[in-house]
A and B are shown apart, each in its own frame.
Chain A
Amino acid sequence: MKLLRLVSAALFLTTLSTAADYVGSNACKTCHAPVFNQFFRNPHYQSIASGKETPENTGCESCHGPGKAHIEAHGGKATIVAFSEIGPEKTLAACLRCHSQTLSRANIRKSAHTQADVVCTNCHSIHSSKAPRFLLARQEQRDLCYSCHSTVKAQFSMPFKHRVNEGSVQCTDCHNPHGTFAATWGMAGRSHMVDQKEGNEEACLKCHADKRGPFVYEHASVRIDGCQTCHQPHGSTNPRMLTRPTVFTVCLECHNGAGQFGIMNNGVIHLSATHNMADPRYQNCTTCHVRIHGSNADPLFMR
């Protein structure tokens, strides 16, 4: 408790400190030489190099607060903003002091990561990152995400998957770990940080532009509930990352004419009598319904 008070005081002092409390990064070098000598690699070094930033926005003290008291006390975590001590809430606040100024991080306050107390320093290693960009705490982005998301790691180990492990797809192609706006598909539920295209459209369309349409005959489920209606986006034991191993079961679980479902409120249309499901010919729906994502010529998606 005492420590917390001290840390809180240190953070508070950050905002109330006078210019005299800032000693400059060179003073830090005396004791923290290994960090300082490698600091030129760090993007935060730009604040020192520019020479135009105010003391509270320059070098070490821009994140760790004024160093005068720390020096006078001959070190100690209670006299400086030590990120190993201040907890997730204050860590986030400290980083957002500068890094809120990017639209891609605008939703970090309500992101699932923040709610789970996964904040900046859980994923970014400010002083010892080996990643070539973004100061990631792991060399590869996927390893960083896998370190918590073991289920996702298992999904990308499936035979049919997006090629994340192979290096041609990244988690951030579809997700924004800093939070996202509400989805424009499904029921706009919690979006699992699925990032949208620039126009707020589903992330899948970033690459799969041919599924975007508009089509004269839309397959409404694609537009309304999204691609996950039929596909598992991370990986699957089923070909084409479908939710079921055979196509007809994917289709028939919705196309059963039941109740008030569907956009016509009379059930999603079920098969006609010409479809003899005992015949293997009719068990691959997409052999005939080739334009299953949408068609410009046929309401049954047959051309």
Chain B
Amino acid sequence: MKKLLLLAMASVALTSIMAQPTVAPTNEQVGNPRGENSGDYNVIQSYELGYRFATLSGDGGMYDSTVNYGDGIRLLSSSLTVQSRDGHGLLFDHLVITTQGLGGDPYQSAILRIEKNRLYRYDMMWRLSAYVDPAETISFGEHAMNTTRTMQDHDLTLFPQSRVKLFLGYSRNLETGPAITTIQLYSSAGNEYPLFQNVHEETNEYRLGGEVKFLGVRLNIMHGWEDYQENSPESLTSPSTGNNPTMPSQGNNPTLGQTLNSFQSNEPMHGTSPYWRVGLFAEGHKFWAINGRFTYVAGKDAFTLNENSAGTSVGVPNQLQVVSFGNAQRPALASNLNISLFPATHVVITNQTSYSNIRMLGDSYFTEIANGTVVSPVLPFQYLGIQIFSNTTDLMFHPKKWFSVHGGFEYSDRHINSVQGQSNLGDPAPDQAPYEQSNQLKAGAFGFRLKPVKDVTISADAEVGRQNKPIYPISDGNYQAFRGRIEYKKKQFRLAAYGKTDYNINSDILTSYASHERTYGGDGSWITNSWFSIDASYTKLHLNTLGGINYFSEGIDISGESSYYVSNIHSATLGARFAILKRADLFVGYSHVQDTGDGRATPDGAGLYSALPAFQAAQTFPLRYLSPSVRLSVRITPKLRWNAGFQYYGYREQFSSAQDYQANTGFTSLSFSF
């Protein structure tokens, strides 16, 4: 038994190298892993307090978008577990608090669980994530964001182990921060003007529910209210000549002489989505199990838009006001019924029937006033309804402990209704034209799992599907996916190899869209002994797609060309951990991502598939993103460790250096427990 426990602890050591994504916080444990007894409780705790630093050369915007670690003192991580030793604590029996990155990291979290046996359980999760969009030049981005999203979830369960349970919950999701957006004025061929935007999006959700068990069946009912508010006003901070100030005033691009002197836009929205969820499930019977769920969401959204702009268009003063308001509704209904049958000892048959119906409808009013003239009086709300029925049957057969096989068939029927206006802005009241589209999917799946010898597992799966009327050229119309994996695992040594293909072909009169995705790789880990362990992985992800395009170039309609895209991504990770004289732990890690593209050295294509240089340049996007790291953790006392680490990030695009960067990040910290 002791040996077993040692093996388990060694597995935990392996855990520390399975994925070392960021150099801090450290994984090395401090304090007694079995905790300290305090009265009737056992306490395990650890804290890591340190200083994180980062130096950067190159494009700071891209660094902020992809990494974003900065300087400062951080509570890099903390963990506190208080456990009742006899299960009869006064106020609680189990308390867990874990945090990460508090004090200024761009990615912070705090998790709390507290529970008293049979009485209550409370879970809280708080997270913060800083999001930066630097308006990447490669994608011709012109929208920048520097926002922070904070999310919190609170869930209280009363009487968690009893036949009758009560649930209360609250979630909040808030995104705030500055952004740059654009507006095109004064027509659909006008100039584009950068605007400042103050982003504020807020969601509050309240949940109340209960569960009761009777006659071997559990009934779960949840009622929730989701409240969404958005008010992200846009404004012009100073008169602007737009993104195209020198474009000649001719043809379809009359931007010369256009200026925007003032602009203000407010579009407050307030949405509510009250919902009901009813779940019914029964399990544990000898021959069958059943569960079902029914949900209904009555989504509503009240909105108004008031946009005022003033400037000149081709040298002529121009004032434009746009007012829109309305009430949108989004009722969504979904229901599921799952039946599992166990007709024989090693046979499981499951059948799932589902139905969903979501509609978007409502009332809206639109008015555009250009230089005092009402241009577009009213545009009606467009209706969109989606109805899906699906039925899936799967069979699993376990004739032997070392062999199992499964297969299944799915039928899905989707019906889409749409009512749209035929006219653009400025036309009289548009026609109301209803459209319908139906599509059926038939898909079969088959797979097996085999253990030919004790330490080897082989598994394979296949799925083939056909849609008779895929809605988009890139939708799964005629697809086939195969996946295989072989794994050898013996004690603390593991080696696996896998491969996957996913092909989709969608025939059409313009062209045949084809997508070929092939993934293969291998990974392994090995704990040789108590002082050394290693983990490595390699994955190759290949994707090529070919789809027909139709566009205008210099006023000429170009058809018959294709958009061809190739991506060949090689991703490798390596992690090694050394324990030095039971005093120090050294971790060395490396992550490398490289898209070799289609092999070309310059963005210029060979003129294949499209004559337009822009399409040729978009056919592939080779880049390299690598990150070596090293970390040293020294045990000073059983309750105190000193840690230091360094992590380098290098981002380099092959065709342009404008967004490349090199960042040196690191930290030093103390891990301690009381």
Q: Do A and B come from one complex?
A: yes
Q: How far is the CA of A103 from the CA of B415 in the complex (A)?
A: 29
Of the stretches A16-24, A64-72, A137-145, the one at the interface is A137-145
Q: Which residues of A contact B (CB under 8 A)?
A: 4, 31-35, 38, 40-41, 43, 45-46, 48-50, 86-89, 96-97, 100-101, 103, 106-107, 109-110, 114-117, 125, 127-128, 130, 132-133, 137-140, 142-143, 146-147, 150-151, 153-160, 163-169, 181-182, 184, 186-190, 198-201, 207, 209-210, 212-218, 220-221, 223-225, 229, 237-240, 242, 244-249, 252-254, 256-265, 267-268, 270-281, 283-284, 286-288, 290, 296-300, 302-303
| Complex: A183 Cα to B148 Cα, angstroms | 30
Cross-chain contact A209 with B161 (CB below 8 angstroms): no
Q: How many residues of B contact A (CB 8 A)?
A: 218
What distance in Å separates the Cβ of B599 from its nearest Cβ neighbour in chain A? 16
A109 to chain B, nearest CB (A): 4
On whether A190 and B381 interact (CB within 8 A), knowing A237-B593, A256-B549, A274-B189, the answer reads no
Using CB atoms, name the residue of chain B closest to A180. Answer: B336
B residues 1-48 in Cβ contact with A at 8 Å: 1-2, 4-5, 8-9, 11-12, 15-16, 18-19, 21-22, 27, 33-34, 42
Segment at the interface with A among B292-300, B311-319, B576-584, B635-643:
B292-300
Instruction: Give which listed residue, B107, B189, B424, B508, contacts A166 with CB less than 8 A.
Output: B107
Partner of A106, one of B175, B332, B338, B513: B338
Is A50 touching B118 in the complex (CB atoms < 8 A)?
yes
Q: Are B297 and A201 in contact (CB under 8 A)?
A: yes
Residue of B nearest to A40 (CB): B85
Contact of B18 among A114, A138, A278 (CB under 8 A): A138
Contacts of B283 in A (CB 8 A): 96, 100-101, 106
Tell me which residues across on chain A come within 8 A of B418, comparing CB atoms: 220, 263-264
Contacting residues, chain B, for A168 (C-beta < 8 A): 101, 107-109, 127-129
Q: Are B615 and A297 in contact (CB under 8 A)?
A: no
Determine whether B270 belongs to the interface, using a CB cutoff of 8 Å to chain A.
no
Chain A residues within an 8 Å CB radius of B16: 139
Q: Which of A116, A159, A237 contacts B567 (CB 8 A)?
A: A237
Overall SS of chain B's interface? strand
Q: Are A140 and B19 in contact (CB under 8 A)?
A: yes
Tell yes or no: B585 within 8 A of A by CB.
no
* Distance of A102 Cα from B541 Cα, bound (Å): 37
Q: Are A50 and B203 in contact (CB under 8 A)?
A: no
Please tell me if B374 contacts chain A, counting CB pairs below 8 Å.
no
Residues A209 and B173 in contact, CB atoms below 8 Å apart: yes
Docked Cα-Cα span, A82 to B157, in Å, equals 32
Chain A nearest CB from B339 CB (Å) reads 10
Among B86, B326, B563, B591, which residue has its beta carbon within 8 angstroms of that of A296?
Answer: B326
CA distance A153 to B536 in the complex (A): 12
Instruction: Check A116/B354 contact, CB under 8 A, given A103-B279, A132-B79.
Output: no
Q: Tell whether B618 is near chain A: CB-to-CB under 8 Å.
A: yes
Which residue in chain A gives the minimum CB-CB distance to B594?
Answer: A237
Q: B452: CB under 8 A from chain A? A: no
A224 touches B66 (CB 8 A): no
Q: Which residue of chain B has the shortest Cβ distance to A130 in the bound complex?
A: B12
Extra contacts besides A106-B281, A212-B273, A242-B139 (12): CB < 8 Å: A103-B293, A106-B279, A132-B79, A150-B523, A225-B475, A247-B140, A248-B614, A256-B547, A257-B550, A278-B553, A283-B140, A288-B188
Please tell me if the beta carbons of A157 and B356 are within 8 angstroms of each other in the complex: no
Partner of A239 from the list B111, B141, B508 (CB cut-off 8 Å) is B141
Within 8 A of A (CB), among B215-265: 218, 220, 222, 224, 226, 228, 230, 243-244, 247, 252-253, 265
CA distance A181 to B226 in the complex (A): 21
Nearest CB to that of A275 among chain B residues?
B552
Are A302 and B184 CB-contacts (below 8 A) given A154-B541, A283-B140?
A: yes
B308 on the interface (CB 8 Å rule)?
Answer: no
A254 close to B252 (CB less than 8 A): no
* Residue contact A154 to B539, C-beta cutoff 8 Å: yes
Shortest beta-carbon distance, B340 to chain A, in Å?
Answer: 4
| Whole-angstrom CA separation of A142 from B16 in the bound complex | 12
With A89-B346, A277-B612 as known contacts, state yes or no: A182 contacts B392, CB within 8 Å: yes
Q: Can you show 11 pairs from A to B with CB atoms below 8 A apart?
A: A48-B87, A49-B84, A106-B281, A151-B519, A165-B19, A213-B330, A216-B379, A254-B472, A270-B550, A296-B267, A303-B322
**Residue in chain A with minimal CB distance to B98:** A132
Contact indicator B472/A262 (Cβ below 8 Å): yes
Contact present for B21 and A165 (CB under 8 Å): yes
Taking a contact as CB atoms under 8 Å apart, the answer to whether A150 and B329 are in contact is no
Q: How far is the CB of B223 from chain A (nearest CB, A)?
A: 10
Question: Which residues of chain A come closer than 8 Å to B222, judged between CB atoms?
Answer: 198
User: Given that A280-B140, A300-B188 are contacting pairs, would A40 and B42 also be in contact in the complex, using a CB cutoff of 8 Å?
Assistant: yes
